Every structure is written in structure tokens, then in C-alpha cells.
Structure 1
């Protein structure tokens, strides 16, 4: 279950015209005729030399899976069945004339539409296959437990069952290093002996760990040999997450800051090395000797074996595309309270259209901690070594995104409607349109409702209980009147509110319960740390938080409405209009603060020597 939209490539007008000429059409017909001849000859060779060897790549239209499919085809040893969620395959322009297009024409590759949550479809995809490369997974940035569980866990269980039923010999599962990451403590040179943590960073990591355990446990069942690969931070041409999001941040002015001290080390993996590692694992399991027995039922880390500072890697991509590298360092401890506030705001406003924010506590930890892994076991037991160096991989990656270069953005900036930072911060949804006065009708309606609430419930000085009871009374009256209204009055239709509108779904109830349990466990963990008396930083954080809460709790509802509401509706609007000026002032203030901090530390750390004459 992966993203199947085609990549947005830039083509010149001359190239489009050339493909439409009769000369090119004649060439295409000749090529097509030659391909059909090649297909027939290969089929004859296959019949003479034995049956074709088929393998399946689930999620075959995903980022890393596309590279694996091409590498398998290029090897000449496999016929590839590409399984993915879309009803049919849509090739990018470069794929149509490339290796994949030719393989689909000749029959060396076929496409199968399969939803991993449907076991019958998975069985159909796996029939007659000798090996299965299970790479399908939802977008890791979507923190939806139900989605991840249904695909990563239930879907993987269907793949395992289908492999056993169809007598598939080898199953290679694409896992993740996040299965051993708790979201808090960094990992430096971690190896495969690391256990799963008690609690994972997000639902994606938790379900990937559960699926990996299923794959390892199924090794040997029905003659099936399994192996799990854990590629770290994949990058390369065709990536639709890392580079595009990094460029979007640069264009929004958010890539100038380094979270933490900037020295945290990371392991990245070029996408072709990921594909190569999967093939190494399959070949090892197919060897049927002591190497296969040693590798079967194991998990392996996969990296480029070239650890690099996380922020240096990001800087090399940004500089390669013509953007400035990050230069202002902000301590993670300073960003965490802001991240918690953003996360809380999102939980409150998500039902009203606010999108998932980038600034969250888990993301702050990821950007400021170490994540490096030891690939010695992968090298010794699977024979894996990177085939593309980190430097070459970065070069190829940057060259594959000409349309994301800074100069291209500058040329188009005059004619584009790039969302402002204020709009992006508010989620680019209904909340943003309301607070930024883009939907004036909705803004005025919201202000009228707030004015009504203030005049009838806040201004009289009611207590909180009285105000809430009066609001509920008005709501009940409105709902009662609405329910007895006829379906149509003077030509105007009145749609009835379904009772299901007020019910919590089972999924939502479960998520709320999980959230409450997680909050409770976090609070208990903080209290335990405080009771030990060792963490002074945590103590001061808790004290400051309680003082802030005490201050906010002392503010009356009247003050919140009189000061808060006008501020929210004015501050975001002004910032959107004066974005560059306010950012410039902020950067100047930040530079001055960092300079003062450096001078203060220099004076404090410099030893003073008194000299007597």
C-alpha cells in the first residue's frame, strides 16, 4: 500500500513536439515490432532452458521498490511480478522508454493489483513465485495506528500465509531501524542484538516491529526461509519525502536553523544500496548451505557504512540545490516546550482542518539525537557492501531534482501562490482561512459566534460552571428546534443532523484511550524521575511549567476573550503581510542573543590570572 502517483518530471516543448512527429512514430513501431520478436525468442529460450523464475515485489511502485524492480530485471535472472494497490500501472515518461517499459512489453515483468489487507488478492499475486520481496508499507509520516496495523501487521500476516500456501521458498521483508528506537535515547553504532523497546516513537515503528517479529517467527514454516532488512534513512532519485520536504522548508525560510548542537551522527542509505542488500539477502537464502541457515530468520541493518553528521548531510543537499545551509543553532531543550504546545494545538484543531505539523516533540528528538548502526553482520553473513558511495549518491540525488533548484523557484515565484508561513503554521485548512481573513464569510461568522458567546456568557461574569451550563442549555434548545422543523420551509431545505454525528467511532474511542493512557504513563514517568532527585533539568522544567500553568489559570475568561481573541485574529494576519520584515527582526535578535551568549561563556570560561608587581 504505497503512493502510486507518478513523479512530476519537467519536459521541454521541443521534446514534446519531437515525440509527435511521424518519424518518431515510425521508430516506435519498429521498436515495438522488435520487442515482440525479442519476447517470443526469450520465451523459446525459457522453454528450452527450463521454467521462468518469478519473484514478487509488494509495494512495487514505491520509492525503494522501483529501484529493486529495475535491479532484478537488469540482473536477467528474474521475471518480476509488481504488486501494488493501484488498479493498473502508470509509468513515468522515463520508465516507458526505459528498462521497465521494455520488460512489461516483453513479459519479463507484469503488474498485479493487490491490497495486502485482502488475503485472496495476495495469494493470487504470490502464485508461482519463488521469492517474495515484501516492501509495501504506508507513509511513515502518517501517525494513524489503525492504518499502520492493518497494512504492516495484518497485511504482513497475509503475505506470510500466502507464501506458505503458494510454497514460496524465500521471503525478504523490508523492516526499519526504528523498530529498536524508543524515540528518546539516541543510538550510536547499534547492532542487531538491540531488543525492541517497551514503547516506540510512533505507530509506524510499533507496527513495523510487530510485523518483523511475525516474519522472523515464520521462518521454516512450510519450507519458507525469511530474512528482514532494516535500511536506515533511505535517499536517492525518486524520493518524494526527504528532499521535497527539505526544499519546502528551505523555501518557507525554515531551514536556517539547526536543532541541537549539530554534531549528532546519522547513517543514511542510498536507494540502490537498499535494493542491492535485498538481493544479497535473497541470494544468501538461496545458497542452501550453512550461510543460508545462518541468515534465515534474522534481521540486518543496512546503511551506506559512512556515518555523517545529520545536519551536514542536509546542508549538502540544500547547497547542491542552491539553497543556504542551516547556520543558527537552537538547543533542543528550548524547542521542546514549543513543540509540545504545537502538538497540543494540533490535537485540538485537527478536526477543523489543521494539518499534521512538522514541529512535534518526536521530530525534535529525531533531529537532535544519534542514529548510527553497525553493518558488520550484514557484510559478513550476507556479503553486502555498498555499490554506490555516499558522495556519489548525494551527487545523483541532487542532479535528479532540477525542478526543485533554487533558481527554478526564483523564476516561478512571481507567478505562484506559495502558502505563507502563517498559513502553513495554521495547517493551510479552514483554521488558516478563518484567522487570515481569506474566507471573510467564515471569519465574520466565527467572530459573530464568539461575540455572542462573550456577550451572553462571559460578560455577565458567570462562574465557569454557570457559563458551561447555559451554553449547553442553548445548544439543547437549538437542537430541539432544529429536530422539529420540517424538511423544507418556503423552498429552503433543512438537513437533519444524523445521530451518528454525535457518536464516537470504535477507532476514535480506541485512539482517545491510547492517548489518555500514554499521557498518564508519561506523567508517572516524570514523577518517578523527580522522586529519584537526580534530574535537575527535569525538575526546573516541571517547576517552570507549573508556574506558567498557575499564571494562565489565574487569567479570567473575560481577559482571554478581550485580549486573546483579537490578538489571534490580528497577529497571524499581520505576520502574513509583514513576513520578511518580522523574520529579519527575529534573525537579528537571535544573532545578537547567540553573540551575547558566546561572549558571556567566553568571559566565564577564560581563567583570570592576577599578577603582582
Structure 2
């Protein structure tokens, strides 16, 4: 039979790795390819329109079928007449939500198995994940397929993938169906929408400066063409003679580039290739994990209100700090798999494909909000660590100030008098000193520095009037009782003022200074997450208060007839 008369189905065929498999199947002219995915119609990228896929769709060697895996009738229809089914569909692995993954990874897999059995499909290859044996705590070094499923998985994606894999392996031999499972490790390459974009996003938001853990954890990455090649190797092994097929079927296989590398070295190669700096500062996992748990908790609370899944989660922290390397000997022996694209070449191709994400093309447009709040001047440069020399010099001055005026626990009047005395002594000595001292020029402070100009006084008065009018308008709005966001901001402001008023100068100094030098910098790094947190918090409170007001509103009683 010719390829035109033999059909295979790639379920989830518009996914990252699946697109490469579709093109590889068409390139080898093995089968006509039925592409099944959730979208109502297929939208080709420009390179696909001019490439082998566009040509195959035009000539009928490929066809697209909109398919919802949760709809059994649609799954049965798309599998009808197929000789081979590649099940590569899965939701975004970065979303840790069981309700998102279970319908596709488990129930959808059940529907596919039943369709294959009903229509006497010969071979089913399931794309699984190495995470099915990863518990998120204990690293894996050179792990093989003898590792059992984890008793407690790192996230919902891993747990449901394990359930789906077990179902596929159990169905091997039913009504002549041969099955196997492919476990590709950390896929990357052109078209990647998760790994490389997340690394670049971290660099653009300032988070890629930090290495989570000791930076020595080893990883196995897999170039996307090698993943597609592994699926074809699996299909060919299951289609081979009885002895080969019997040995290959009913098994799971780890797939990697067979070139383990330190995770942070891989990330550094991607970043430097795109013009960003390498991560330099090591942060212990025990320091980062509480923040990740907090972000995960916030997402759990506000996901129903449309909050996007955070990039920073406990499962992601564990993945970034543990060893994850796997042995491909079994895949090599039984499937004949070996990588066709070396790691170095794969990284080079990937960097070339993401040229639109290069550093010089993706600078932050305009100053950050933290910089705007700090006035965009020298204060912003110091508190945001733009100039390390200025920042360190300022910290030294503040330390001296603390030792002389704050630590002795003077009263405010005493501290001010001492400060003014030191300033007077300094100005007197500075004024009496010669213009040149030991070959150094002493710049004199002009008298104009001590005078308040009329223009400056006018601007200060206008600013005070503006603040006063703004406060009055806010009070009027509060009296109406409709602006809950303003009410919450006012409460937070008053709590902050109360805290400052009740704190001793020494305690205030020790808390405020570290907070200023760390807080603004953290806000600049996690601006998106922090803003979304406040946004959804205000939205949630406003919605709750609106519902309460509706319940308390008087009930209108209609007139009796």
C-alpha cells in the first residue's frame, strides 16, 4: 500500500513536538497524516504554508480534524481508518490544576484507547513524561525504566500523565493493538513555547540573575527533532517482525539527547546566545520555596477570577534545583533510537530560531514602575542598585549615621541638635579650607545652595495645595461609600502610618532601610506578579462587597392585584 492509502493520526498535532513529528512523517512519506487538535480550523505559520505541511494539505496527503478528546464520538471519528495513532495531546504542564489535566491526560486517553480497539488500529504510541517517576524531592541521576511511578507526584500534570501511561501500557495486546510510551526529557528547539520563552522572560524581568540551589544539578535535555525521531523509531519497532514488536511493545522508554549537562549551564548557553547575562547569584532553595508557596496559594485563591498561572511555583523550584538525568539504553536496544541532532547543534539552532527574543530587541520600554515611584533620579539608581558604588557608599553613610545618631537612642531633639552641630562643624571647616589641598581641588559650596528660590517656593506651595485637594476629593469619594479600592488603599495607608508612629526611631531605621534597599529591587523584578496580586485582591474584595450590598438592599414588594 502507498502512503496515500495508509493513514496515521497525530492527536494534539498542533503542539510543539507534534508539529515536528507531522513534518517528519510527511518528509519520509510513511503515511498520510490526519492532524487532530482542539482548534476549529488549522492556521498555518508562514514557514508552514510554504513548506511540506502546506503542500501536503493542498495535495490531500494531510488533513486537519477538529477534535475534543473529551468527546468520545469525535475521537472515534478521527481514529477511523487509521493504522497508527500518536497520542501527543496534553495541557500546559506549567499549570498545576488537576481539573485541567485529568480530562485530557486520563479520560481523553481512555477514549483514544477505546477508539483504537474498536477500529482495530494496529499501533498506539503515547507521549508521556519522565516526571511520572519524579517525586519533586529526590533527584534522579541516570534513572532507567525500572524506576516505579512516584507515590506522590510533583504536580497534577505528572500525576495524570502517569495514570494515562499506565492505561496505555495495560491496553497492549487488546484486540491486536500494540502500544508503547515515550518519555522525552525537557524538550527544546524551534517553536518551543515553554522552556526557552520562560528562560528569556526571567532574564527580561531581572530574575535570571539568580541560580536556585547550588547550580550543580545535572539535567537531560532533548532537542525536538530527536523527540519526533524517537516516535518514528517506536512506530517502526512495533511494525517490525513479531519478535522485535513483542520485545518493544507494552513498555515505556526514556528519551534524551544522551548528553547530560548542568541545568544552569544550559540556561546560560541560551541566555548568552541571545545576548543576556549569565545567572550569577546563588540562592538556597529554602529561601526561595516559601515565596513560591505563597504565589501558588494566591493563584489557587484567585484563579477563578482570571488570574494567570504564576511562573514561580513550588514544582518549578524543585525542577530547577534537582538532578534529572535518564538512561536511554533500553530505547537504543529495543527501538533503535539514538539522537540525530547533537546537543550543541540543537542549542545553536534554537538560538537562531529565537532571534526575535534577542536582548537588544527586547529592552524594557520606558522606566520600571519602581523607578517611576522613586523619581527616576539618583534615589532610584541607589535603591535599585543601578550603580553599585553609589549604593554601597550610601549604605556606608547610613551605617555611620546609625552608629552616631540612632544606636545611642537619643531623643529626636537631641539627635537633631547633634546632627546640626556636626553639619555646622563640617561647613565651617569646609569654608575655611584652602581651594587646593594636597594637590586636590576642594569644591566650595555656593551660597545659592542655602537659599530657597521663589520659583521653588511657588512649586512647593502648589504641590501642597494639590495634595490637600486630592485628599479632600478622596474623602468625598469615601463618604459616598462606593469606591472599595480607595477604601482599601486608605486602610493600608493608615495602618502603615500607625506602624511608623508606634515604632521607635531605632526600630524604624533597622526595618525601613533594609526594606527600601531590598523591597524596591524585588518589586522591579516581580512587578508583574505583585501588580496582578493587588489587582485580583481588589477585584475579589470589590466583588464580595458588591454581593453583600445586594443582599442588604431593601426588597421591593410589588402591588397586589
Q: TM-score range by the shorter chain?
A: 0.5 to 0.7
Contact 1:58 1:84 (8 Å CA) reproduced = yes
- The offset of 1:384, in angstroms, is 0.2
Is 1:445 equivalent to 2:390 in the alignment? no
Find the partner of 1:192 among 145, 160, 167: 145
Is 1:121 equivalent to 2:121 in the alignment? no
Give matches, 1:400-419, under 5 Å: 400-410=353-363, 413-414=364-365
Give matches, 1:271-420, under 5 Å: 271-350=224-303, 354-410=307-363, 413-414=364-365
Query: Partners of 1:247 and 1:454 in 2: how far apart?
Result: 36
Specify whether residues 420 and 302 from structure 1 end up closer, same or farther in structure 2 by C-alpha distance, changes over 3 A only.
Answer: farther
- The offset of 1:452, in angstroms, is 7.7
Find the partner of 1:575 among 520, 537, 551: 520
Specify whether residues 51 and 324 from structure 1 end up closer, same or farther in structure 2 by C-alpha distance, changes over 3 A only.
Answer: closer
Q: Deviations over 1:464-489 (max 9, x none)?
A: xxxxxxxxxxxxxxxxxxxxxxxxxx
Give matches, 1:87-106, under 5 Å: 87-106=40-59
Q: Deviations over 1:572-605 (max 9, x none)?
A: 9x9389949x9xxxxxxxxxxxxxxxxxxxxxxx
Q: Deviations over 1:127-165 (max 9, x none)?
A: 111000110111111112112111110000000011111
RMSD over equivalenced CA pairs, Å: 3.3
Is 1:175 equivalent to 2:120 in the alignment? no
Query: Partners of 1:165 and 1:350 in 2: how far apart?
Result: 39
Gaps of at least 5 residues in structure 2 are 374-473, 504-511, 528-561
Q: Match for residue 80 of structure 1? A: 33
Is 1:242 equivalent to 2:242 in the alignment? no
Q: Match for residue 431 of structure 1? A: none
Under a length normalisation based on structure 1, what TM-score does the superposition of the two structures give?
Answer: 0.62
Specify whether residues 293 and 353 from structure 1 end up closer, same or farther in structure 2 by C-alpha distance, changes over 3 A only.
Answer: closer
Contact 1:454 1:561 (8 Å CA) reproduced = no
Query: Equivalent residue of 2:252, what SS?
Result: strand
Contact 1:252 1:420 (8 Å CA) reproduced = no
- The offset of 1:335, in angstroms, is 1.8
Contact 1:280 1:384 (8 Å CA) reproduced = yes
> How many corresponding residue pairs?
410
Find the partner of 1:68 among 21, 43, 65: 21
Specify whether residues 351 and 560 from structure 1 end up closer, same or farther in structure 2 by C-alpha distance, changes over 3 A only.
Answer: farther
Q: Match for residue 164 of structure 1? A: 117
Specify whether residues 374 and 562 from structure 1 end up closer, same or farther in structure 2 by C-alpha distance, changes over 3 A only.
Answer: farther
Query: Equivalent residue of 1:82, what SS?
Result: strand
Query: Partners of 2:57 and 2:369 in 1: how far apart?
Result: 40
Contact 2:75 2:111 (8 Å CA) reproduced = yes
Query: Partners of 1:366 and 1:50 in 2: how far apart?
Result: 41
Query: Equivalent residue of 2:5, what SS?
Result: coil
Query: Equivalent residue of 2:41, what SS?
Result: coil
Q: Deviations over 1:7-30 (max 9, x none)?
A: xxxxxxxxxxxxxxxxxxxxxxxx
Query: Partners of 1:275 and 1:561 in 2: how far apart?
Result: 65
Q: Deviations over 1:57-111 (max 9, x none)?
A: 0000000000000000000121100011111110001110111000111111111
Relative CO higher for 1 or 2, CA cutoff 8 Å, sep ≥ 6?
Answer: 2
Give matches, 1:444-463, under 5 Å: 445-448=484-487
Query: Partners of 1:451 and 1:50 in 2: how far apart?
Result: 70
Query: Partners of 2:82 and 2:523 in 1: how far apart?
Result: 61
Specify whether residues 290 and 560 from structure 1 end up closer, same or farther in structure 2 by C-alpha distance, changes over 3 A only.
Answer: farther
Query: Partners of 2:92 and 2:85 in 1: how far apart?
Result: 21
Query: Equivalent residue of 1:393, what SS?
Result: helix
Query: Equivalent residue of 1:261, what SS?
Result: coil
Specify whether residues 273 and 53 from structure 1 end up closer, same or farther in structure 2 by C-alpha distance, changes over 3 A only.
Answer: same
Query: Equivalent residue of 2:34, what SS?
Result: strand
Query: Partners of 1:285 and 1:419 in 2: how far apart?
Result: 57
Specify whether residues 408 and 163 from structure 1 end up closer, same or farther in structure 2 by C-alpha distance, changes over 3 A only.
Answer: same
Specify whether residues 114 and 354 from structure 1 end up closer, same or farther in structure 2 by C-alpha distance, changes over 3 A only.
Answer: closer
Give matches, 1:459-608, under 5 Å: 575=520, 579=524
Query: Partners of 2:273 and 2:210 in 1: how far apart?
Result: 18
Query: Partners of 1:334 and 1:422 in 2: how far apart?
Result: 29
Specify whether residues 559 and 401 from structure 1 end up closer, same or farther in structure 2 by C-alpha distance, changes over 3 A only.
Answer: same
Contact 1:172 1:282 (8 Å CA) reproduced = yes
